Chains A and B, each alone.
Chain A
Amino acid sequence: MSLPRRCSDTAAAARAPLGAAQLEKKLDDALDAVLSARRTAQPLALNLAPLERELQDFTLHWVAVIARTNGELAYQFASLAPTVLHKIDLSSAEAWIIHAMDTFDREGLYRGSAELKNVDAFIRAAHEHAQAATFEDANNVLGLFICGLAGRRLKLEAGSEAYTDTESIHLPARIASEASRQRNFLMYKAMATHLWAQARYGTFNVDLPGKLAVYADAEHALALYHYFETVRIDAIISRELPGLARELSVLRAGVDPPAGCSRLEKPEATAADSLALVTELYAKFTPPRLSYMGTMQPDIAQAVRNARVAREKKELRAELADILEKKAPDQSLQQGAARYSIANESNNDVSGGIELSLDGEPLAASEHVDELLQSIAQDLGKIPDDYLLPAGKSANRKAHASDENADDAGTHTGEDRDAVLYNEWDYKRRHYRKNWCVLRETDVQAGDAAFVDNTVVKYALQVSQLRRTFEMLRGEDRWMKQQQGGDEIDLDAVISAYADMHTGVELTERLFIERHKAERDIAVMFMVDMSGSTKGWINEAEREALAILCEALEVLGDRYAIYGFSGITRKRCEIYRIKRFSEKYDDTVRRRIAGIQPHDYTRMGVAIRHLTALLNAVDARTKLLITLSDGKPDDYSDNYRGEYGVEDTRQALIEAHRGGVHPFCITIDREAREYLPRMYGAVNYTLIDDVGRLPLKVADVYRRLTS
């Protein structure tokens, strides 16, 4: 956005500031939706008129961009711009706008406009930025760090305060309290480790809300408890992670615990000792606040813990019943009572693994059972006997659990584990919208396996011809003569070398025959449009095309996968598994091909990003991403339709290309020439005008692409 400030006189005339009337007209166009008789663009235009042309252009551009997201936010920006643009340079201003829009995306208009108005804070933060550590930066490393520390798996999440609910660790979005970026990261690490330790070493294993309620000043009691637990955990850290303890002592900056606390530093100290100290010192002691303490949310933690304890008891008992059933399917569950026991029960130590035994024999439990046992022991200190009673048909229970998950997916987007978040390119902003799309993978509902057989019969002649052409593509071994090394001696070369030697010519070293194996090292991903518009004969043609393609590819031996994509809105992007790379082309896959159904819309960018990631996990010299589509990228309700979708798809394809994937598109949309070259480039697509020819054409295109 920065234009050269010095221009020649004529150019300056052309770039003269716009007048208030011109500005008002442009603002009217952009802000139409939020203007009314009482609120016009006139005052905005009057304020903008004295600005330089460069700043005016900048403002108008961004007003239009923001208005596409939210009109009100754009109006606010227009009214703030004249004052703000004098204070900061344009690249900072752009960062400020993007930050406000990201906040709007995440938390709505109220917070978004607050961030916009809070420009001073943003400028201050920008100055601090060089030293600050942000959650985004720290998340990758700390997520792995916490994962490595063992104990229950904890998620890291950004929030306004640092606390744990015993299943996730919430950390502030940025930390700038320390003087250097390194120190701020250390602060993140200290907070995360302490919160991890709270979950790991039983801070919430006492009935905290109940115990604290007896005090007149519950807040003071909580502050005491929090401090004592911090002392206890610091002692644990200095025993277990002495290197980290040394770093923490720097942050503690000489605040030492009072003498009464010494018993918390013993290895056998528990949360109960901290509670006892709260009673003892309630009236006598004001706890200091250590910089890395964060906050404590006993109510949230207890709710999460109680839900988990109940859930895991059920899950464990169901799993145990499952093991029994697999061992001896005919015995009734009653006989399973009291047959399980824990071999190495030792309190407070869950790190060494818990050995489950059945009838006194050690049992190799599944990873899931191990995790459950660990987690239960972490909550309760040991595995109570009644947890070891097998109960309930686990199959029923699992079905129930997946029902719950299904409900979940509809309401809390992005909360469940299977969902993957993807960024999306907003061409107006020229930035990504972070974690904008929520994508899930599901299997295609199996259809009638006869469909594929019928297709092969229907196109029998062409299929056998295709097979022959594909067979010719298959690499043949060749003997290469006169090589420097190889399996055998090249006698012809030796004889001529012998003659050379006698005539005094320099000897060649190329005396061997090498067998050269022509390997096709290709992995191909087919991405099939399963949007509602394919309903009817297009869908049929797609399915036939896949059936024929699979027959041909099996001859060729290339690795291939087939996935369908559809979805509705950014929160419900769906990828349908038809054939994974690891799956063989068998009846299950044939049924899935037959079962491909039209669904909703075509949000292509996110599908390309996901499938590219899958493709990149395969080790192959050549990687192809082939899309079968019937039209433009499109989605319901938001502005994905049109240029936005085309530009996001283009961006996703550029990302794919950067990662070494060759994208290609086969389409039957007659208008495709208008947008496909923009997305795929001039040569990377093919248009098939006759849907009836699609089935044979797809295999043919593939042959051309890979030979």
Chain B
Amino acid sequence: MTKTLASEISALHARTQKSAARMIEREPYYEPIGSEIALFEAAYASQIPVLLKGPTGCGKTRFTEYMAWRLKRPLFTVSCHDDLTAADLIGRYLITNNETVWVDGPLAHAVRCGGICYLDEIVEARKDTTVVIHPLADDRRILPMEKHGELLHAPKEFLLAMSYNPGYQSVLKELKQSTRQRFVGIEFAYPGAALEKKIIMTETAVAPDIADKLIRLAEMTRNLKGNGLDEGASTRLLVHAGKLLARGIPAHAACVSAVAEALTDDADMLRAINELATSLF
């Protein structure tokens, strides 16, 4: 292998892994709702993979980042989609200068360096893809890489985590029992009003009365769940609305853009949320 090729390969490695892998340098802002931190730490110490369940925008990804920072492990996040193949997770051969070069996928890389691999929205991935994590997720803790002819043993520091929203999945996208029964499940819900207020104020620096109104609006949309909305407004949407408000966008426009339009396309529902927002501000 010539020197230039070696540097190209390392450049390739850097490119494929840069987006996903990172050490979290600064403490992410996270407000614990219950005992999730203790649970996560216990699972990590016992080398049991973790399944984070909860509606969208309730803080699953933020929690994972926080835990990666707390445990001082690099975090590899993979957003799952229905074209995600096993090769995307494990790695593949690429061609450079008439030679084939093996490039680790994020899962393999996380195993090698003892990081946390976080598979976001795991049910979006194809079922045959999910199966490759099975040997990693039980007490074998191995990752067979057939194409590369290598068998990776996960170090103690490695942790597999994935997130899953049980709320809106279709029957097609249920998690297989053989997959889910390998994990410790941690349930997330929207924080209570007081905590949610604190979160909104910390994240967006809006005034307390504005935060109160945003929370009222969230409650109203959560009342509509099952009556035309699949989900109520998440904490994340409230933070978005708060950020727009803090930048001087008028309250009504901020709520419509950050909350109503994000929740639904249905014209009547948009108008209804619009009316609710108008009533509050």
Contact = CB atoms under 8 A, between A and B. Distances in A.
Interface of A: 140-145, 147-150, 189, 193, 240-244, 247, 351-352, 487-489, 494, 498, 511, 515, 517, 559, 581-582, 618-619
Interface stretch (B24-32, B61-69, B87-95, B133-141): B87-95
Contacts of B278: 243-244, 247
Given A241-B279, A242-B280, A148 B221 contact: yes
A483 to B, nearest CB: 12
A498 B97 CA distance: 10
Given A241-B280, A488-B147, A489-B93, A147 B223 contact: yes
B98 A498 contact: yes
Contacts of A489: 93, 95, 100
B228 interface: yes
Interface string B187-230: 00000010000000000000000000000100111011001100
A141 B275 contact: yes
A351 B277 CA distance: 18
B268 interface: yes
Interface in B230-281: 252, 268-269, 271-273, 275-281
Contacts, number: 75
How many B residues touch the partner, as a band?
35 or more
24 contacts: A140-B268, A144-B224, A144-B227, A144-B269, A144-B272, A145-B275, A147-B224, A149-B220, A149-B223, A150-B223, A242-B280, A242-B281, A243-B277, A243-B279, A244-B278, A351-B219, A487-B85, A488-B147, A489-B93, A489-B95, A517-B126, A559-B172, A582-B171, A618-B170
Q: Which 5 pairs from chain A and chain B are nearest by CB?
A: A144-B272, A244-B279, A148-B220, A140-B268, A241-B279
A143 B126 CA distance: 39
A511 B96 CA distance: 13
B85 A515 contact: yes
A147 B268 CA distance: 13
A649 B272 CA distance: 34
Contacts of A487: 85-87, 92
A618 B170 CA distance: 8
Given A243-B280, A352-B193, A487-B87, A148 B272 contact: yes
A243 to B, nearest CB: 5
Interface of B: 85-87, 92-93, 95, 98, 100, 126, 147, 170-172, 193, 216, 219-221, 223-224, 227-228, 252, 268-269, 271-273, 275-281
Contacts of B221: 148
Nearest to B194: A352
A488 B281 contact: no
A148 B223 contact: yes
A189 B275 contact: yes
Given A144-B224, A619-B170, A488 B93 contact: yes
A524 to B, nearest CB: 14
A70 B266 CA distance: 39
A189 B275 CA distance: 9
Contacts of B193: 352
B136 to A, nearest CB: 19
A189 B126 CA distance: 47
A499 to B, nearest CB: 12
A582 B169 CA distance: 12
B268 A148 contact: no
Nearest to A151: B223
A150 B221 CA distance: 10
Contact of A141 (B92, B95, B126, B268): B268
- Chain B CB within 10 Å, residue with most, of A147, A193, A511: A147
Nearest to B219: A150
A148 B224 contact: yes
At the interface, is chain B mostly helix, strand, loop or mixed? helix
B276 A149 contact: yes
A150 B272 CA distance: 14
A355 to B, nearest CB: 11
B280 A148 contact: no
B10 to A, nearest CB: 21
A242 B251 CA distance: 12
A140 B264 CA distance: 15
B113 to A, nearest CB: 24
Contact of A147 (B93, B100, B216, B227): B227
Most buried by B among A150, A243, A559, A619: A243
Contact of A144 (B219, B252, B268): B268
B146 to A, nearest CB: 11
A220 B223 CA distance: 38
A292 to B, nearest CB: 14
Contacts of B276: 145, 148-149
Contacts of A582: 171
Given A148-B221, A618-B170, 16 more contacts: A141-B275, A144-B227, A144-B273, A145-B276, A147-B227, A148-B223, A148-B224, A149-B276, A150-B219, A242-B280, A487-B85, A487-B87, A489-B93, A511-B95, A515-B85, A517-B126
A147 B227 CA distance: 8
Nearest to A146: B272
A502 to B, nearest CB: 11
B211 to A, nearest CB: 15
A429 B273 CA distance: 37
A351 B216 CA distance: 10
Contacts of B86: 487
A240 B281 CA distance: 10
A185 to B, nearest CB: 9
Nearest to A367: B226
B65 to A, nearest CB: 29
Contacts of B275: 141, 145, 189
Candidate in B227, B269, B276 with the most chain A CB atoms within 10 angstroms: B276
A619 B279 contact: no
Contacts of A517: 126
A559 B126 CA distance: 17
Contacts of A515: 85
Contacts of B219: 150, 351
Contacts of B227: 144, 147
Contacts of B100: 489
A145 B281 CA distance: 15
Contacts of B279: 193, 241, 243-244
A132 B25 CA distance: 60
Nearest to A511: B95
A352 B220 CA distance: 12
Contacts of A241: 279-280
A144 B228 contact: yes
Nearest to B228: A144
A103 to B, nearest CB: 26
Nearest to B229: A144
Contacts of B272: 140-145, 148
A148 B273 contact: yes
A240 B95 CA distance: 64
A582 B170 CA distance: 9
A517 B268 CA distance: 39
Nearest to B224: A148
